[in-house]
A and B are shown apart, each in its own frame.
Chain A
Amino acid sequence: MRFIDRIAYALSTGGATILVFLMSALVTFDILIRALTGRGLIWALDLASILLVIYFFAILPWSLRSDAHVRMDIFYPRMKASWRAASDFIGAIGAAIFFGSIAWRAIHEAPRMAEFGVSSPTVGIPYWPVVTFVGACCVLAIAVLVASLVSRRNEGSGK
Chain B
Amino acid sequence: MTPTLLGYLGFVALIGLIAFGVPIAWAVTIVAFSGLSLLLGPHQAVVQFFATAYNTGSEFLFMAIPSFILMGQIVARSGIGENLYDTMYKWFGRLPGGLAIASITACTGFGAVTGISSAAVGTMARMVLPEMRRYNYDMTLASGSLASAATIAIMIPPSLLMILYGLWTETSIGKLFVAGLIPGLLTMLVFSAYILVRCYLSPELGPAGPKFSWKERWLSLANLLPVIVIFTLVIGGLYGGWFTPGEAAGVGAAATLAVSVALGRLSWADFVEAVKDTARLSAMIFAILISASVLSRFFVATQVTTSIISWIAGSGVNNYVVLFLLLLLLLFLGCVLDAFGMVLLTLPFIFPIVTGMGFDPIWFGVQLVFLTEIALITPPIGINVFVIAKVQPDIPMAKIFLGALPFVLLSLALVVVFTIFPDIVMWLPNQM
Contact = CB atoms under 8 A, between A and B. Distances in A.
Q: Does A pair with B?
A: yes
Contacts of B243: 31
A47 to B, nearest CB: 10
A31 B272 CA distance: 26
Interface residues of B, number: 66
B96 interface: no
B24 A105 contact: no
Nearest to A18: B275
Contact of B33 (A57, A90, A97, A134): A97
Contact of B276 (A13, A94, A131): A13
B287 A102 contact: no
A84 B287 contact: no
Interface in A1-44: 12-13, 16-17, 20, 23-28, 30-31, 35
A122 interface: no
B63 A27 contact: yes
Nearest to A77: B21
A16 B21 contact: no
B19 A72 contact: yes
Contacts of B33: 97, 101
B60 A48 contact: yes
Contact residues of A: prevailing secondary structure? helix
B60 A52 contact: yes
Interface in B1-52: 17-30, 33, 45-47, 49-51
A16 B290 CA distance: 20
B56 to A, nearest CB: 8
A151 interface: no
Contact of B67 (A24, A75, A91): A24
Given A63-B279, A105-B49, A20 B70 contact: yes
B22 A91 contact: yes
A35 B27 CA distance: 46
Interface residues of A, number: 56
A106 interface: yes
Contacts of A84: 21
A105 B23 CA distance: 24
Contact of B27 (A49, A52, A91): A91
B47 to A, nearest CB: 6
Nearest to B287: A69
Interface string B327-346: 00000000011101100000
Interface of A: 12-13, 16-17, 20, 23-28, 30-31, 35, 45, 48-50, 52-53, 55-57, 59-60, 62-63, 66, 68-76, 79, 84, 87, 90-95, 97-98, 101-102, 104-106, 109, 131, 134
The 6 nearest A-B residue pairs measured at CB? A94-B26, A76-B21, A27-B250, A105-B50, A63-B283, A53-B57
